[in-house]
Each structure stands twice: as structure tokens, then as C-alpha cells.
Amino acid sequence: MSDTERDTPHRRVVVQELTSLDGFVAGRSGELDFFDAVPDYGEVDRYNLRLLADTDLALLGRKTYQMFSDYWPTEQAQGEVVAEIVNSIPKLVFSSTLDSAPWGDREPAQLWPGDVVERVQQLRQEPGGDMIVWGSITLARALLAAERVDEIQLHVVPILLGHGRRLLDEDTGMHALTLLESKGYDSGVVTLRYRVGRAA
């Protein structure tokens, strides 16, 4: 990663999402079956390992944590290119309802029941690498609205859903974006990376 891409005096917050071409990150009820439009994400995942090289903390909402913990630490995920990094990276789950956040036989995730933006701002001032938000639409929106996101990474799946849940809504506000990188794959997926500027 170049110096111009990391030109921040604090830990960066990166939001990374799989999205349909028309901007949906989940179906109306949160279903993710549109991911199946791509039979093999191996090429995308191998590239994603480079994007995650400077990342040392994953930020997750409750629903994404539960979905991830039901899959990634299990035998079902064995052989996945990114399984080891997903399982080994420290995780912080924002939830006021969970009492614990186990992760198979790996180190459990930490829990934070309090204010999301306040905690992330504290973490941004501490030494460390990038923090990544996977899925977790409500969390991503809150951080974007509070101008606590430094980069958005979108893996655009070649499908049109027509309806569902979008990553962005009117509450996230206006943000200037600078394209850092675009990369296409034989699978039809396109990765787009944007630096997020402050609202006008």
C-alpha cells in the first residue's frame, strides 16, 4: 500500500462489502443468496489477502458476527483462501444483547455494548494497523455518517437484484470519493477501492 493511500495520522477504518451491480448488499430480509451468482471467489480472495495485509482488527455487528462464526471456524470453511486470516484476526463485536462471542476453537471476539462511534474513535487513536468492517450494514452506516471511514472497498458481483438492503442510505450523508484502484476478474467480479473524503 502506497504512502498516499495511508496518508492518515491514525488507524484507518476500511469498510469492505460484496454488493450487487445495482448497489444492494443483502436481500430484503438480509439474505445473501446473490453471492451464489459467482461459483468461485478464489481469484477475488487471493487478491483480498493483499488488501488485508495491514489489517489487525475486524469490526462486526451482531448479525454478521453470528453468521461468520457459524461458518468460518468450521470444517465447512476449510480450503477457503481467506479462512485463516478471517479466523485469526482479532475481532470486536458491537452488541448490547450478547453475553459472549466465541469463535470455534479460536480466540473469542471481544464485545462492546456501548457507543459504536465513540469506541471506534478511541481505537483510531491507538497504535495498530487498519480496522475492517465486514458486512455489518448498520455499523458501516453509523461510521460513515460520523465520518469515521477512511476507505470503502466494494467487490461488485455481476448480478442485478432490483431490491434489497443497500449499504448507503440518506443518513450516511454526502462524501467525496477518490478512486484508488479498480480490478476485474474472470469471474465477472470487479473490486473498487475508494478513499472517503469529508462531507462537503
Evaluate the CA torsion angle 66, 71, 73, 75 in order and state its sign: positive
- pTM (predicted TM-score): 0.90
In this structure, is residue 7 part of a structural domain? no
Q: What is the pLDDT of residue 7?
A: 56
Give the pLDDT score at 168: 77
pLDDT by residue for the chain (200 residues), tens only, comes to 444 455 556 899 999 999 999 999 998 888 888 899 998 999 999 999 998 999 999 999 999 999 999 999 999 998 899 999 999 999 999 999 999 999 999 999 999 999 999 999 999 999 999 999 998 999 999 999 999 999 999 999 999 999 999 887 767 778 889 999 999 999 999 999 999 986 44
Give exposure, 33-50, as e/b (b: 16+ Cβ within 10 Å). Answer: ebeebbeebeebbeebee
Q: What is the CATH number of the domain that holds 178?
A: 3.40.430.10
Q: Is residue 139, in this structure, part of any structural domain at all?
A: yes
Do the domain assignments include residue 101?
yes
DSSP string, 86-134: HHHS-EEEE-SS-S---BTTBPPPEEE-S-HHHHHHHHHTSS--EEEEE
42 found inside a domain: yes
Q: Which three cell numbers stand for residue 120?
A: 471506534
In a domain, 3, yes or no: no
Q: CA 91 to CA 110: how far, in whole Å?
A: 6
Q: Is 8 within a domain?
A: no
Number of independent structural domains in the chain: 1
Dihedrals phi, psi of 94, to nearest 5 degrees: -95, 110
Residue found under cell 498516499 = 4
pLDDT at position 113 is 95
Which structural domain range is residue 121 located in? 13-196
Q: In the prediction, which pLDDT does 81 show? A: 93
